[in-house]
């Protein structure tokens, strides 16, 4: 008898294959107190050196495989190479008389707590855990599970999969990936989307039911896993997989057309980007620009931030690749945990509410100003827009705009010509920004709604805490009303609005966003053509009654059922 589990779709289509269950990595320190501190310190130094060597090899392998560096591997290398992190570990060991293993555990705990400051990072907690397990593996002389050991084509099922494991997998053998844990913004989800491997995360128990002699269907489109499927289910999903392949082929025709609704409304579908090397994929994806270029990971080479000239070269590379398309670059959206030279920084009991995003940029203008100068210089080679993250007050944004004006004038005085039409906008991620959007519109050229952070702050939910995550409802009428308010107020002042984050790629939310008059969706590259196809079959005018009904409902579940009932042709496969 078949067993169906629901999770979060992480992309890649549909596949049917035998199961391979990969064991969990859960190494732990056996002892706390050291007999010989000097010996333990030497063991710890050796472990750092060995793991650093291993990570270089994995990084080289990943770059050869993917044609570009992988941000999570870069981040691992950054952390393990940072002198402040190594010194912190040694100080903890010596001061507390700990073993090397216990020190690693406490270091991981310390770094993960710091990491919550940068709540926009979907990678950090997994990266730090992976680093800790690798160090413990060396110290304890015990292997950790490795997907690279797979010797036949299979669906890989695991409690969780680390970034280093993902980049080492053989795409000829890994038919699909399924995990107990994870989320739509986790490092694993984003990498698996990029790899186009059918993947489902957050099944909350697949490892309890799966074993190696099973067959599994993995539906990475709708977030379903079927263990031991019946012949009828296999036949059904084989047909769905064929249909998915045919539809993807047909979608390619949309690349050379503007995105318009059936009643003629023009909407831009842009791509999210985290590394400059992704621009080649994006240019072939059908994207009509880049709606969110994240820069924080790119700027952490060798545990330090890139120079102005190094940043300029990167922005120029991206701008020249898409000279006629708008590239929206978000300035550093980091928390003080990413200032690795200050690993002892303490941001209080609520780090998600601390010094991060634009707040940090204004407090550390030695980071912000070189980035602004590099962006202004690169704007000569294409259409670059500057966007500030985590803005809460008018004073913050006016100060940020003043810095842009000052750096523009300084560059002009240096004889560097800067285009006059460089747009300067802001992320809308806090209730304060939502309620004051009419006043922000007097100063900002555009807005980008960061749906992940906005939902977190709107519902007062820590999205890393599984106990309260169910309260974070992207489709809740409170969220819908907030988004609509931003769009209406911005349009009243003649400003355009984009939306990035999970909501933009949420199939059931997209008709509502279209009805609201959203100007741009910014989504992962593999969502671009399906979204353009969806919009080309919908009418903004005819969706208005549906939007009004949704706004009057009480919760997200009611909204979802309303959309699926009203537009059954779009969601029929999800309801099967």
Shared domain check, 123 and 183 = no
Shared domain check, 387 and 287 = yes
More confident residue, 137 or 12: 137
- What confidence score (pLDDT) does residue 214 get? 95
* Residue 558 within a domain: yes
Distance CA 538, CA 383 (A): 30
Shared domain check, 444 and 363 = yes
Model confidence at 291, pLDDT cuts 50, 70, 90, reads very high
Tell me the torsion sign for CA atoms 403, 407, 409, 410: positive
Distance CA 473, CA 326 (A): 31
pLDDT of residue 516 exceeding 90, the answer is yes
- What confidence score (pLDDT) does residue 197 get? 83
Active site members: 187, 500
* pTM as predicted: 0.70
* Residue 240 within a domain: no
State pLDDT tens for residues 542-571.
999 999 999 999 999 999 999 999 998 877
* Residue 242 within a domain: no
Distance CA 182, CA 126 (A): 9
Task: Count Cβ neighbours within 10 Å for each residue of 255-277 and write b for 16 or more, e otherwise.
Answer: eeeebebeeebebbbbbbbbbbb
Q: How many helices (H) and strands (E) does the chain have?
A: 23, 16
* Residue 252 within a domain: no
Lowest mean pLDDT among 125-129, 341-345, 428-432: 341-345
More confident residue, 346 or 313: 313
* Residue 245 within a domain: no
User: Which amino acids are annotated as binding site for Mg(2+), given as ranges?
Assistant: 429, 453
- What confidence score (pLDDT) does residue 133 get? 92
Tokens of residue 317, six digits: 């590379």
Domain end: 122, 140, 158, which one? Answer: 140
More confident residue, 119 or 400: 400
> Which domain range does residue 198 map to?
3-24+146-231
- Measured in Å, how far apart are the chain's first and last C-alpha atoms? 18
Identify the DSSP state of 306.
P
Mean pLDDT of the chain: 87
Domain end: 105, 140, 175, which one? Answer: 140
Model confidence at 189, pLDDT cuts 50, 70, 90, reads low
More confident residue, 339 or 376: 376
Of the segments 246-250, 252-256, 520-524, which one has the largest average pLDDT value? Answer: 520-524
Distance CA 391, CA 371 (A): 17
Phi/psi for 47 (5° steps) reads: -65, -45
pLDDT of residue 190 exceeding 60, the answer is no
Shared domain check, 292 and 199 = no
CATH number at residue 210: 3.50.30.10
Shared domain check, 412 and 455 = yes
- What confidence score (pLDDT) does residue 176 get? 93
- What confidence score (pLDDT) does residue 402 get? 98
Distance CA 451, CA 319 (A): 26
Q: Are 108 and 128 within 8 A, CB to CB?
A: yes
Average pLDDT of the segment spanning 359-363: 90
Average pLDDT of the segment spanning 167-190: 75
Neighbours of 553 (CB within 10 A): 17
Model confidence at 119, pLDDT cuts 50, 70, 90, reads very low
- Please list, in sequence order, all residues whose beta carbon lies within 8 angstroms of the beta carbon of residue 64, skipping any fewer than 6 positions away: none
* Residue 417 within a domain: yes
Strands 215-219 and 224-227: antiparallel
User: Which amino acids are annotated as binding site for phosphoenolpyruvate, given as ranges?
Assistant: 294, 330, 452-453, 463
State pLDDT tens for residues 521-547.
999 887 899 899 999 999 999 999 999
3-state SS, 10-42, equals: CCCCEEEEEEEEECCCCCCCCCCECCCHHHHHH
Q: Are 138 and 198 within 8 A, CB to CB?
A: no
- Please list, in sequence order, all residues whose beta carbon lies within 8 angstroms of the beta carbon of residue 565, skipping any fewer than 6 positions away: none
Distance CA 218, CA 17 (A): 9
Shared domain check, 393 and 298 = yes
More confident residue, 481 or 117: 481
State pLDDT tens for residues 367-393.
899 999 999 999 999 999 999 999 999
Model confidence at 466, pLDDT cuts 50, 70, 90, reads low
Model confidence at 24, pLDDT cuts 50, 70, 90, reads confident
- What confidence score (pLDDT) does residue 375 get? 97
More confident residue, 244 or 418: 418
Distance CA 92, CA 452 (A): 35
Question: How many structural domains does the chain have?
Answer: 3
Average pLDDT of the segment spanning 37-66: 89
Shared domain check, 312 and 222 = no
CATH number at residue 112: 1.10.274.10
pLDDT of residue 341 exceeding 60, the answer is no
State pLDDT tens for residues 443-460.
999 999 999 899 989 998
Q: Where are the beta strands (DSSP E) in 274-422?
A: 290-293, 326-330, 383-388
Q: Where are the beta strands (DSSP E) in 318-422?
A: 326-330, 383-388
Shared domain check, 45 and 169 = no
- What confidence score (pLDDT) does residue 163 get? 65
pLDDT of residue 413 exceeding 90, the answer is yes
Q: Are 13 and 241 within 8 A, CB to CB?
A: yes
Lowest mean pLDDT among 6-20, 164-178, 214-228, 537-551: 164-178
- What confidence score (pLDDT) does residue 338 get? 43
CATH number at residue 565: 3.20.20.60
Identify the DSSP state of 496.
E
Domain end: 212, 231, 250, which one? Answer: 231
How many residues are given for the chain?
Answer: 576
Shared domain check, 543 and 466 = yes
- What confidence score (pLDDT) does residue 77 get? 85
Model confidence at 245, pLDDT cuts 50, 70, 90, reads confident
Strands 326-330 and 290-293: parallel
Shared domain check, 304 and 205 = no
User: Which amino acids are annotated as binding site, given as ranges?
Assistant: 294, 330, 429, 452-453, 463
* Residue 440 within a domain: yes
Shared domain check, 556 and 471 = yes
Of the segments 75-79, 204-208, 301-305, 424-428, which one has the largest average pLDDT value? Answer: 424-428
* Residue 237 within a domain: no
Average pLDDT of the segment spanning 332-360: 60
Shared domain check, 315 and 462 = yes
Model confidence at 337, pLDDT cuts 50, 70, 90, reads very low
Share of the chain above pLDDT 90, in %: 59
Tokens of residue 522, six digits: 């910014």
Q: Smallest Cα–Cα separation from 461: which of 444, 474, 448?
A: 474
């Amino acid at each position: 008898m078949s067993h169906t589990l629901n999770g979060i779709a992480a992309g890649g289509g549909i596949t049917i294959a035998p199961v391979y269950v990969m064991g969990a990595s859960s190494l732990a320190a056996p002892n706390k107190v050291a007999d010989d501190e000097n010996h333990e310190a030497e063991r710890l130094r050796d472990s750092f050196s060995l793991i650093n060597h291993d990570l270089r090899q994995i990084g080289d392998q990943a770059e050869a495989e993917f044609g570009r560096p992988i941000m999570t591997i870069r981040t691992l290398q950054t952390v393990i190479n940072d002198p402040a992190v190594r010194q912190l570990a040694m100080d903890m060991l010596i001061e507390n008389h700990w073993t090397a293993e216990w020190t690693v555990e406490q270091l991981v705990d310390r770094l993960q707590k710091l990491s919550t400051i940068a709540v926009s990072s979907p990678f950090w907690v997994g990266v730090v855990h992976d680093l800790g397990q690798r160090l413990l593996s060396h110290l304890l002389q015990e292997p950790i599970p490795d997907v690279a050991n797979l010797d036949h084509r299979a669906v890989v099922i695991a409690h969780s999969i680390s970034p280093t494991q993902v980049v080492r997998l053989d795409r000829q053998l890994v038919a699909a990936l399924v995990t107990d844990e994870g989320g739509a913004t986790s490092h694993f989800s984003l990498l698996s989307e990029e790899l186009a491997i059918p993947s489902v995360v957050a099944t909350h128990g697949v490892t309890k039911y799966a074993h190696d002699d099973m067959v599994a269907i993995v539906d990475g489109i709708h977030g379903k896993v079927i263990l031991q499927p019946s012949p009828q289910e296999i036949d059904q999903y084989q047909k769905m997989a064929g249909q998915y392949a045919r539809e993807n082929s047909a979608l390619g025709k949309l690349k050379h057309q503007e995105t318009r609704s059936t009643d003629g409304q023009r909407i831009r579908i842009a791509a999210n980007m985290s590394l400059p090397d992704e621009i080649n994929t994006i240019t072939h994806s059908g994207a009509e620009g880049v709606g969110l270029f994240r820069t924080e990971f790119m700027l952490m080479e060798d545990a330090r931030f890139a120079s102005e000239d190094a940043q300029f070269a990167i922005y120029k590379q991206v701008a020249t690749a898409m000279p006629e398309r708008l590239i929206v670059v978000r300035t550093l959206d980091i928390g003080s945990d990413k200032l690795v030279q200050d690993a002892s920084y303490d941001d209080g009991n609520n780090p998600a509410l601390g010094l991060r995003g634009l707040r940090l940029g204004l407090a550390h203008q030695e980071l912000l100003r070189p980035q602004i100068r590099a962006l202004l210089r690169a704007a000569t080679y294409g259409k670059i827009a500057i966007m500030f993250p985590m803005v809460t007050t008018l004073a913050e944004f006016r100060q940020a705009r003043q810095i842009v004006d000052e750096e523009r004038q300084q560059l002009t005085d240096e004889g560097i010509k800067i285009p006059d039409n460089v747009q300067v906008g802001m992320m809308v991620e806090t209730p304060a920004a939502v309620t004051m959007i009419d006043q922000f519109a007097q100063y900002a050229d555009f807005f980008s709604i960061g749906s992940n952070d906005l939902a977190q702050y709107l519902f007062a939910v820590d999205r890393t805490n599984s106990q309260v995550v169910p309260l974070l409802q992207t489709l809740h009428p409170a969220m819908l009303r907030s988004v609509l308010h931003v769009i209406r107020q911005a349009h009243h002042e003649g400003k355009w609005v984009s939306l990035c984050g999970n909501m933009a790629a949420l199939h059931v939310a997209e008709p509502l966003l279209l009805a609201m008059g959203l100007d741009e969706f910014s989504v992962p590259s593999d969502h671009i053509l399906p979204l353009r196809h969806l919009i080309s079959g919908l009418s903004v005018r005819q969706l208005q009654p549906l939007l009004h009904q949704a706004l009057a409902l009480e919760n997200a579940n009611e909204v979802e059922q309303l959309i699926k009932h009203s537009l059954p042709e779009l969601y029929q496969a999800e309801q099967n």
